Structure formats: structure tokens, C-alpha cells
Amino acid sequence: MLKKLTDEQLGQILERATEEFSVNGPERATIKSIAGAADVSVGVIYKYYEDKDALFEACLSRSLGMLTECLSRAGEEGKSLMDICENLIRMAQRFATEHPAHIRMYHAITMDTDAGRMEKYAREIESVSAKIYTEYFANAVEAGLVRKDLNPAAFAFFFDNLLMMLHFSYGCGYYRERLSVFCGEDADRDEMLVKQLLLFLKGGFGIA
């Protein structure tokens, strides 16, 4: 049997490794502790992944896949721009709260020391949302749904920036703290943020 490890076990390794990587940082996370957390031997990790870096990349891909899948679902339902925005905002809040480790992996590539990989992922991940949002804005301009003088690419960028920061603000330590500094920790804070962000975007986009 060439593959004794079940898919479940393989997923378990990635899940635990993601956890370790996101909690202690890619450098401080050790293969031994990952193996321990995933309840497998050190050797088995090296059987499936070339080295620690390859394991990190596998975790990264998986996390980004989950995030992307989630986001793509938000836009599926062909509603109005503001509805889609609301979906995306709520999804960001929910996903980052439920899967902070995955958001932290996303955040981790932004600090990658491997420039090549960083670039690769930047193109891979961001070009999807860039394309979708930009087209959406371009169409919206033509349809007269938003202000005429906006640059679709720039507005897509601003919008994605706000969404990305939202993800981090719910998933990553520093940004979480920062959100508290700005908006406190009221029970209704998250709902308030949805409303306010929609308000801000609506105005920004020039939607009547």
C-alpha cells in the first residue's frame, strides 16, 4: 500500500500545521510540534512534504483555497452591488472569526521571506478578485449604477483593501487589538461595522 495515511490524516496534518504556523509563526513552529499536534511521526511529514517550507506552502494553498471558495460564494448570488458587499463583509467577519488560522496564513505570505513565492501568490490570489471587482465596477459605471468618474481598477483596489483589513481585523492578533483600539469591544460592534462600512462604501461608490 503506497498510501497508508488516509486523506483525513493528511488533512489533519495540514490543519494542525496551519494552527502551529499561525500561532507561533512559520519560523518558530517546529516539525516536531506539528507532528505531535497532528499525532503522526516526524518521518511521515517528510514522506509527504519535501521540507518544512513545502509543508508551509501546502498549508498556505489550502488556506487560500478555503478563503477563496468562501469569497466566491458571496458573489454568486446575482444581487445588487451593495448586497454583494454586505455578503462579502459578513463573510469576512464570519470566516476570520471561525478560521483565524487560515486568515493568519494569508497574512503570513505577506511577510514571506521567499520573494519568488510571495510574488507568485500575490498574482495567483489577487488577480482573481482584482479581475472580478474591476469588471464589476466597469460594468456598474457603464450601467450608471455608480459614479461616472471612478477608475474601476482603483476602486476595486480600495474595496479589496477594506475587505482584506476586515479579514485581518477579525483573524490576526495585531489587527484585532487595533480594531479594539478604534472601535472598542461592544457586543453590537460587529453589526455596527457592517452598517457603517456599507454606508461608507455606498457613498464612496457614489450610489444614490
Centre a 10 Å sphere on the Cβ of residue 123 and count the other Cβ atoms it contains. 11
Binds a copy of itself by CB under 8 A, chosen from 115, 144, 185, 188: 115
Binding to DNA by residue 2, rule CB under 7 A?
A: yes
Q: Rounded distance, CA 150 to CA 196, Å? A: 21
Centre a 10 Å sphere on the Cβ of residue 131 and count the other Cβ atoms it contains. 11
Which entry of a copy of itself, DNA, none binds 40, CB below 5 to 8 A by partner kind? DNA
Residues of this chain, 4-23, that bind a copy of itself according to CB under 8 A: 23
Q: Rounded distance, CA 135 to CA 152, Å? A: 7
C-alpha cell at 154: 482603483
**What are the Cα distances from residue 112, in Å, to 2, 34, 88?**
33, 20, 26
Residues of this chain, 49-68, that bind a copy of itself according to CB under 8 A: none
Binding to DNA by residue 44, rule CB under 7 A?
A: yes
Binds a copy of itself by CB under 8 A, chosen from 72, 80, 97, 110: 110
Which is closer to a copy of itself, CB of 36 or CB of 204?
Answer: 204
C-alpha cell at 102: 487560515
Where along the sequence are the contacts to DNA (CB under 7 A)?
A: 1-5, 9, 28-32, 40-44, 46-48, 51-53
